[in-house]
Chain A
Amino acid sequence: MSTKIIRDPLYNYIGINLNRDGWLLDVLNSPEIQRLRRIHQLGVSFLTYPGADHNRLAHSLGVLHLMTQAMEHLEAIYQDAEVRRAREPLLAAALVHDVGHGPFSHVFESCLGVDHEEWSMRIIGSHGTTLNRALRGCESSLPATVAALVDPKNRDHPAWQKFLLSSQLDIDRLDYLRRDSLFTGAGYGHFDWYRLLNTFEIHDDEASGRDIVWAEKSVLAIEEYIFSRYYMYQNVYLHKTTRGFERMLEAMWRRARRLRDEGRDVGLVPAIRDFWDAGNPEVRQYLAIEEFTVLQQIQNWTAHDDQPLSDLARRFLERKRFAMVESPIFANSLAPDYEGWQAALAELVGSRVEYSPSDMYCLRDELKGKYNQPYFPETQGDQQSVKNVIRVEFEGEARPIEVSKRRPRLKPLTEAPRDQYRYYLPKELQAWAKKLRAEWT
């Protein structure tokens, strides 16, 4: 048997069986997938954690590696045609699921006004891409099948396959939690991934179809996984420094866009100018925007004659961060006056002539509870899709049970976290802002 070996810091060896899965090399070697080498997996987290320089390609290979193991696990249990047929689409989807990410991953989506999942589907489906040709080389319908798997709104594809790729305990998360932990050095994000990967089954339900469930012996590993997510959210994904630089990047691009809309020359580099000029950008125009393009653009702006734009560009490149102030605790929790509070902060910032306009120096960060919840269980009354929750086959039960119903330790993590608002402003104003906050609380 011939195997392509790729070294990886998480798994040591990632092997691609060339006899069976050799077509994946064409997918891997396509320029669209290779571009992922140049996209930071964790956006601008490297400004907080210097080691967080790992890229989307390494993560995609990790997902492919785990999906290969997951499919081998299923093929050993089930000898049915649906599982066999699912292998190629799932391996392809594992490798290409992030192909639509732009510079700095999620953070730059708002700067360009794009959605990476939509671009993933366009890139996969576009006949002009090498990736599309590579997928068609394996099976002519593969691009459409993979796009359906990647599409979060698609409900036509078998739910158990969608679960493996995107759910609250999917193969994507099994890789990135541990990979992000390793590269940030944060020390969290460890769990018994091997057990999770080797103890799930396909459950046939007459009413709701086929679904992924875990054996009872895995509940501790599931608990550990959910706690890992919680710690990674608190320590890495929602880190106040990272979030501050994300908002700074957005403010800078918002400023450039506004100036450009007003007819000012903002010295756009060709790739970004082409993308913004195109009403409906083509795939090649999107793919031409790389992190080095964006960094070059920011570097150019450091010399721009618009003071706020050049100031924020310098602050970003020199890592001169804004300071963070939490929102006050409002007496009226039903209708908190965030607008009034932000206006008061903006007035404080606007009192300093060098921080004008104040909306460039008083940045709001909205931490929606839904992005801060490590696990959202099914509430029976919601009758939401049961496909997305983690279910376990407990002994003596006729049907699988949602895991938190039997594990009280998980209860605190399943409660709805409140929405939080943070405000970023120049450091020398932080003490004044804190005083103001005390008056508002």
Chain B
Amino acid sequence: MTRYQLAKIVDWAGTFQSRKRMQKLIFLLQAKGCPLDVDYDLHHYGPYSHDVALLTDQMVGAKLLTETKEALPYGEQYSYALTEGARRQTQEYEAAPRGSGPAEEMARFQALARELYQHDLKELEIASTIVFFRKQGLDWDAAVEKTRQFKNLPEDASFLNRCKALATKIVA
């Protein structure tokens, strides 16, 4: 995943709230075909990429993203936004011949990214876990059941169905 790609994903949200949301949203975009080339492992809270976490921190260190930390009742939440310098560099890159291809490629996923960003975080977590198991070769029912067991979820059919519906929008 390039800095440019992460910058676009952050910028589409305006201010991107929650690193966990970023992890799941990028996982689902990639599963849909966005060429991000990110490695994911399954962690307790669903698919997790060290690459994404590190790239975010690198871009904060390079003053391309601003990071804001907010104390919430259940812990800290981090938010990210593009710096002015990053916005200018994005525009310069997109205007240059070498940037036009990547810009068009990313633009194809803008609507999906914005839609995913609006989803409930828990749904993103569960849907991405279902997709993770589905991509391991399980059929839909098995992927949903394995997710339910993995996350120790109650058999709330409506919630799981919502998550499955989101997952099926991403992968066949």
**What residues make up the interface of A, taking CB atoms closer than 8 Å to B?**
152-153, 155, 208, 332-335, 337, 339-340, 369-370, 373, 376, 379-386, 415-419
Contacts and interface: CB of A to CB of B under 8 A. Distances in A.
A369 B2 CA distance: 13
Given A153-B41, A153-B42, A381-B77, A334 B61 contact: no
Interface stretch (B28-36, B87-95, B155-163): B87-95
15 contacts: A332-B92, A333-B89, A334-B90, A376-B53, A376-B54, A379-B53, A381-B76, A381-B78, A382-B53, A383-B19, A384-B53, A385-B44, A416-B60, A416-B61, A417-B58
A380 B99 contact: no
A381 B4 contact: no
Nearest to A332: B89
Interface of B: 2-4, 7, 18-20, 23, 41-45, 48, 50-51, 53-54, 57-58, 60-62, 64, 75-78, 86, 89-90, 92-93, 98-99, 102, 150
Contact of A334 (B53, B64, B78): B64
Given A332-B92, A382-B20, 8 more contacts: A155-B42, A334-B64, A335-B93, A380-B75, A381-B18, A382-B23, A384-B45, A416-B54
B63 to A, nearest CB: 8
B51 A370 contact: yes
Contact of B43 (A384, A418, A419): A384
B82 to A, nearest CB: 9
B148 to A, nearest CB: 15
B117 to A, nearest CB: 16
Contacts of B92: 332
Given A155-B42, A340-B98, A384-B48, A369 B53 contact: no
Contacts of A208: 44
A195 B149 CA distance: 39
A152 B50 CA distance: 14
Contacts of A382: 19-20, 23, 48, 53
A386 B48 CA distance: 12
Nearest to A207: B44
A370 B54 contact: yes
B38 to A, nearest CB: 12
A369 B19 contact: no
Nearest to B125: A383
A153 B47 CA distance: 11
A385 B43 contact: yes
A335 B54 CA distance: 17
A256 B153 CA distance: 53
Nearest to A331: B89
Nearest to A336: B3
The residue in A332, A335, A337, A415 that gathers the most chain B C-beta atoms within 10 A of its C-beta is A335
B19 A379 contact: yes
Given A381-B76, A383-B45, A334 B57 contact: no
A335 B42 contact: no
B18 A373 contact: no
B3 A334 contact: yes
A242 to B, nearest CB: 23
A340 B99 CA distance: 12
A370 B78 CA distance: 21
Contacts of B58: 369, 416-419
Contacts of A379: 19, 53, 57, 78
Contacts of A370: 50-51, 54
B48 to A, nearest CB: 5
Contact of B76 (A332, A373, A380): A380
A322 B7 CA distance: 36
A340 B7 CA distance: 21
Nearest to B21: A381
B89 A416 contact: no
A155, A373, A382, most chain B CB atoms within 10 A: A382
A300 to B, nearest CB: 36
A322 B76 CA distance: 48
6 closest A-B pairs (Cβ-Cβ)? Answer: A416-B57, A381-B19, A334-B89, A385-B43, A381-B78, A335-B93
Contact of B99 (A152, A335, A373, A418): A335
B5 to A, nearest CB: 10
Nearest to A386: B44
B52 to A, nearest CB: 9
Contacts of B61: 415-416, 418
B75 to A, nearest CB: 5
Contacts of B99: 335
B76 A334 contact: no
B161 to A, nearest CB: 24
B20 A381 contact: yes
B43 to A, nearest CB: 4
Nearest to B92: A332
Contacts of A381: 18-20, 75-78
Contact of B62 (A333, A337, A385): A333
B64 to A, nearest CB: 6
Contacts of B19: 379, 381-383
Contacts of A340: 98
B54 A418 contact: no
B3 to A, nearest CB: 5
B4 A335 contact: yes
